[in-house]
Amino acid sequence: MVRILHLSDTHVSRTGPDEDGADGVSALCGLLHDVRRDLDLVVVSGDIADDGSAAGCTTVRDLVGQFAAERGIPHVYCTGNHDRREGFTAALGHGHLGPDGAPIGRAAGIDEVIAAVSSVAGLRVITLDSLVPGKPYGVLGRDQLDWLAAELSTPAPAGSIVVLHHPPVWTDAVPYQRSAVLQEPEALGAVLANTDVQAVLCGHLHHQLTAQLANKPVWVTPGVITRIDLTAPAALVRGVLGAGATVVELGGPFSPMFHTLQARDPQSGTEAYVYDPEAGAHTTEEISA
């Protein structure tokens, strides 16, 4: 069995708190302190730095890297819509790091994107770059999809996982999601079909969600810095404090299995912001509901 700690959306900036004043460093430290599991890998699926800075990425790398080094396991990262490729590369290289922080695996070698592949206990770990600078949604270009298809053309001993920030799935119960997720997901599905991919791991939505794409399980992990409270009116985005993560178990009798973790936090559930996607502005629920 391979156990993966799946983190996402740490949103650490060079100054610490994000644009809403939420403290990603504190949230990440609290969550890592509370994780008591046997693990083989840590995956961070994007929005590492809220401001896209190398300093923000470095802080996350150091905190997650210390956690990984203490357990002797690799840590792997991909870009999100808040990240900037130059900041990501300066701090994380191609995003696949061994227990000692040194690069492992190999980069895809595609211009303008940061995609890579490595192997952990026979499991092939592939990270994709769905970042579209300045946009909330994600895109995978043809060159990246062709590279992914070539990598998956030969099965790996323990199968494969694909990690990207933007989910290729959404729920119609939340109207704004469709415009914020991976565009043209069917193109990714066509590549994944009939391969050894065991799971597609994503972030971005700040709440847990599971679905299937081309008969492959897609898992969206909760955010570290905040989670989206789906009890808010469907047209609004209400972010609340409370760091979350997932342990992904592969290779067991019920594989893949996903179970969420919530850090102990006396402020968990405290409102951090309310956002109106249609207006593109922060608001209050009382006015907009």
What SS3 string covers 185-229? HHHHHHHHCCCCEEEEEECCCCCCEEEEECCEEEEECCCCCCEEC
Q: What does the pLDDT average to over 124-141?
A: 98
What mean pLDDT is reported for the chain?
Answer: 95
Q: What pLDDT band is residue 289 in, cutting at 50, 70 and 90?
A: very low
Q: What is the distance between the alpha carbons of residues 208 and 37, in angstroms, rounded to a whole number?
A: 20
For residues 13 and 82, give the distance between their C-alpha atoms in angstroms, rounded to a whole number.
10
Residue 170: CB partners within 8 Å, gap ≥ 6?
A: 177, 178, 180, 181
Query: How are beta strands 197-202 and 216-220 bridged, if at all?
Result: parallel
User: Domains along the chain?
Assistant: 2-282 (3.60.21.10)
Q: How confident is residue 286, by pLDDT bands cut at 50, 70 and 90?
A: low
Please report, for residues 136, 173, 268, 284, the alpha-carbon distance to residue 232 in angstroms, rounded to integers and kept in the order given: 20, 12, 16, 11
Which range among 127-141, 197-211, 261-275 shows the weakest confidence by mean pLDDT? 261-275
pLDDT band at 284 (very low <50, low <70, confident <90, very high): confident
* pLDDT band (50, 70, 90) for residue 157: very high
Confidence at residue 21, expressed as pLDDT on a 0 to 100 scale: 84
- DSSP conformation class of 177: G
